[in-house]
Amino acid sequence: MRSDQVKRGIERMPNRALLHATGITPRQMEKPFIGVCSSFTDMVPGHIGMRSLERKIEWGVCSGGGAPFLFCVPGICDGIAMGHSGMRYSLPSRELIADMIESIVQAHCLDGLVLLTNCDKITPGMLMAACRLDLPAIVVTAGPMAAGRLAGKPLSLVRDTFEAVGLHQAGKLSDAEAAELELEVCPGEGSCQGLYTANTMACLTEAMGMSLPGTATALAGSAKKARIAQMAGERTVGLVREGIAARRIVTRQSLENAIRVDMALGGSTNSILHLLAIAHAAEVELSIDDFDRISREVPQLASLRPGGEHMMEDLEYAGGIPALLKELAEALNVDCLSVAGMNMEELCTNARSAVGEVIHPLKDPVAPEGGICILKGNLAPEGAVVKQGAVAVGMSRFVGKARVFDCEDDAMDALMNGRIAAGDMLIVRYEGPRGGPGMRESLSLTAAVAGCGLGDKIAIVTDGRFSGGTRNLSVGHVSPEAALGGPIALLKDGDGIVIDLPERKLEVVLSDEELEARRAGWKAPEPKCQRGWLARYEHLVSSAAKGAVLEPAERAK
């Protein structure tokens, strides 16, 4: 066992003495050491219920014959960090989490891990650590929040608060109605109710085999979730004894399965950043082009909020990810192993068929292509990302005049003060991984656009990223980003921009000669952060097209 490095031999007597000081008995010293990595915090609704899940996981580890050791990593709520400078820390926190887990596991020679997570950047950060360390690990996501209710109407965070800001601005929602929504929309613990980034990543984690079947959609606070947590603790000890480490499960084939599920669900565009980063940690070749290829092969089979009307609880009651995998079986790599000890073929065979209308059959999809596609062209030579499954009817081809903003805040100010009109193409730049720094998530802007009634009349193009709750024609991850001198840095007000989803094009109507002339006059901006760890992040982060991972300085360019 890896833990033998700290507990075997007379020379390790001081190490054992310190472990005994924690309460470990001599008998427990002979057992596998299992880290229980929790992201519990009082500040995030998706994580407030983790104290009880930690206990269940510890019980499972003990039941399986291991010795559990609890440690924690931080968690940021994107909804609370949204719309201000704090959002710069959200995506970078993914790297911090991976680094912290690596540090604890390597320093204390743990044999296996149970990773208790839920929200947006914590789940991929934990998966990156598991793949980087390549040790036995299981992910437990704490589960989705139940829908809010008001006057019999189901409520979700994004549509009924973020988009309500635009409704209020347009005079369609009173102060009293807004205050009532604010109290009722989030009834308790759990990740936000739609297929936003947190729930997308939970689903993809299960699809790639790193969570036990049923984990992704089991509701927060439920007995089912508690049972899954306990089973995960027990099963992790089994993985240690069987020698099944993370990279046996996270392979090119299993990541492709995750992408297929992503396309079938119409998940968050952030999943592209995260799956690329997980592949990088697992040393698996995966590119942004793989997402578009699979998008053309796999139809969208479900339509959850923000693009549709169903909530995560509806997906759970329809059969969850096991039922979706069963429907997709003919399109999956069925030999892939899972932490459950079964391969994908066995998981699909054992799953119940979907019930109800939430999961469509392959022969009757919601849309003929997957929910996400990749655009390229002279405005995005390395690619850009759009959630085509959430684009308004009639907006798949759009030509508009550029309205250029050098940060999200300026674009939001123009919108809220009535300076945006139908036909405008909002260009929001210097919000990429390096330019932000941190690639702020732009939900406040996109939700306000929808709430103001402009969702099917304008488009947004940015080198930043969007929330999983974003809908309508919102194109993100434009690469190369403005801070690196990408073409988006050269745009001016009035330039014609063409977005064509069927043709996968994002172009500015300018000649190569005009673009080169503008480039000659462009100067790189001064770094926004001169101190603190974001200054280091800005120096080391790679392109969004490569997952915005941290690389040595010479490779991050």
Chain centroid to CA 302: 18
355 burial type by CB count under 10 A (0-12 exposed, 13-18 middle, 19+ buried): exposed
Distance (Å, rounded) from C-alpha 252 to C-alpha 382? 21
Name every residue whose Cβ is closer than 8 Å to that of residue 32 and which is 6 or more positions away in sequence.
1, 3, 65, 66, 67, 111, 112, 237, 240, 241
The two beta strands, 148-150 and 153-155, are antiparallel
Distance (Å, rounded) from C-alpha 443 to C-alpha 463? 14
Q: Is the Cα torsion angle 90, 202, 236, 226 positive or negative in sign? A: positive
- To the query of whether residue 3 is one of the catalytic residues in this protein, the response is no
Catalytic residue among 467, 474, 479, 543: 467
DSSP string, 464-487: SB--TT--SSEEEEEES-GGGT-G
Distance (Å, rounded) from C-alpha 389 to C-alpha 385? 12
1 burial type by CB count under 10 A (0-12 exposed, 13-18 middle, 19+ buried): middle
107 burial type by CB count under 10 A (0-12 exposed, 13-18 middle, 19+ buried): exposed
Strands (E), 302-446: 373-377, 380-386, 397-405, 424-428
Could you tell me the two tokens for 480?
Answer: 């190369």
Distance (Å, rounded) from C-alpha 61 to C-alpha 55? 10
* CA count, 13 A, side-chain hemisphere, 429: 27
Distance (Å, rounded) from C-alpha 70 to C-alpha 48? 16
Distance (Å, rounded) from C-alpha 307 to C-alpha 380? 25
DSSP string, 130-178: HHHHT--EEEEE--BPPPEEETTEEE-HIIIIIHHHHHHHTTSS-HHHH
Q: What type of residue is 408? A: E
**CA angle in degrees (0–180, nearest 5) for 112-247-263:** 115
Residues constituting the chain: 557
DSSP string, 526-553: PPS-SSSHHHHHHHHB--GGGTS-B--H
61 burial type by CB count under 10 A (0-12 exposed, 13-18 middle, 19+ buried): buried
Q: Are 478 and 349 in contact (CB under 8 A)?
A: no
Q: What type of residue is 269? A: T
- Dmax (CA) of the chain: 76
Could you tell me the two tokens for 115?
Answer: 């990773």
Catalytic residues: 467
